[in-house]
Amino acid sequence: MAKDTTSEKKQPNKVAKWFKDLKIEFKKVVWPTKETVINNTVVVLAVVVGSAILVGLLDEGFLTLMRLVYQQG
Separation between Cα atoms, residue 60 and residue 52, nearest integer Å? 12
**Residue-range definition of the domain harbouring residue 41:** 31-73
Residues 6 or more apart from 40 whose CB is under 8 A from it?
A: 32
Question: Does residue 44 share a domain with residue 55?
Answer: yes
Verify that 23 and 36 share a domain, yes or no. Answer: no
DSSP string, 19-55: HHHHHHHHHH--PPPHHHHHHHHHHHHHHHHHHHHHH
Kindly report, residue by residue over 15-51, the tens digit of the pLDDT. Answer: 889 999 999 999 999 999 999 999 999 999 999 999 9
Number of domains in the chain: 2
pLDDT at 72 over 60: yes
Say if residue 41 is in the same domain as residue 73: yes
Helix (H, G, I), strand (E, B) or coil at 1: coil
* 19 and 45 belong to one structural domain: no
pTM of the model: 0.60
